[in-house]
Amino acid sequence: MHRRTSTAVIGVALAASVALAANAAIASAATRSARQLVLDAIAASKTVSSVHVVGSISSTSQTIGLDVQASNADEGKGMISLDGGTVKVVRLGKLVYFNANAAFWTQSAGASSVAFAGRWVSVPASGSDGKDFAQFVGTAALFSQILTGSRINEATFTLLKNTTVGGIPVYAIAGTDTSGGSKGTIYIARRGKPYIVELDTTSSAGTGELSFTAYNRPVHAAVPPHAVTLQKLEESAAAQAG
C-alpha cells in the first residue's frame, strides 16, 4: 500500500489501550493469596491453544472494537474496527486474508483505494501487512499485546465478592494503578483452570472491556472466495488509473 496500513495503526492503538486495561486490572496484592490468583490467571491464559476475545476500548480520540477467534495453530478469524473502519481477517497457514470497508481503505491508502472495499485480499503472514493482522488472530501474539505493560508491582487491589460472568463463577479483583490512577477489574474463573474471563478498565483516558471465552476450542477458518493478492490488486488499480 502507499501509506502505512491501518492494520499497523490499529495494532499500535490496541496494544496501548489493552495495556492500560491490564495495568489497572492486573495489579499487585497486599495479600499473597489474591496476588497469586492474578499471577496464576496470567500464566494459565498465556498458555492456551485458542481463545475468543470480544470487546471495545474507547479513548478521547478513538474507539477500537475486537471480535476475534485466535489460535496458536496459524489459524484464526475475526473482525477489527477502528473509528468507522472495519476489517474481517482470516489466517490460514502462511497467508492472511482481509476484507475491509471503504473507511478502512481510505484511512490506509487514500480515497483512490475505495474501489477495493468489500474484496478479499491475501498477503503473506510474515510480511509487514500480514503481521499486523496476524497478531490479532494468534493466541500468543494477542495475549502478549493484552498483558504487555502490566505493572504488577505498581498497583493495589481489593478482592471483591465472588460473582458470575456469563454464567461462569469467577473471582473479581478490583485494581488501582498507583502510578497512573487508572482503575479496573479482572475476573478469573473459579472452576477448572484459572483463566481470565473479563478485563474492565476506567481511566481519564477512556474505558475498556474485553471478554474471553471458548478457551482451547477448535477454530475453524476457511479460505475466502475470490481472494486476490494485494500486489495484483494494486497492479490492477494502477493499470486502470493509467
Residue 111: count of CB within 10 angstroms of its CB:
9
Q: Are 24 and 209 in contact (CB under 8 A)?
A: no
**What count of other Cβ atoms lies within 10 Å of the Cβ of residue 166?**
10
Residue 70: which of 99, 49, 47 has the closest Cα? 49
Residue 129 has pLDDT above 90, yes or no: no
Instruction: Return the higher-pLDDT residue of 145 and 124.
Output: 124
pLDDT at residue 99, as a whole number? 96
The residue type found at 219 is V
State the residue range of the domain holding 155: 6-241
- pLDDT at residue 96 tops 80: yes
The reply to whether 113 falls in a domain is: yes
Q: Is residue 199 part of a domain?
A: yes
Structurally, the chain folds into a number of domains equal to 1
Least confident of 68-77, 120-129, 145-154: 145-154
In a domain, 93, yes or no: yes
Beta carbons within 8 Å of 105's beta carbon, 6+ residues apart: 113, 114, 116, 117
In this structure, are residues 84 and 113 in contact, taking their beta carbons and an 8 Å threshold? no
Helix (H) or strand (E) holding 169: strand 168-177
Q: Is residue 1 part of a domain?
A: no
CA angle 60, 61, 66 (to 5 degrees): 100
- In this prediction, residues 25-49 reach a mean pLDDT of 72
CATH number of the domain to which 216 belongs? 2.50.20.20
Task: Report residue 45 CA to chain centroid gap.
Answer: 14
Residue 84, pLDDT score:
87
Q: Each residue of 105-122: pLDDT tens digit?
A: 888 777 778 888 999 999
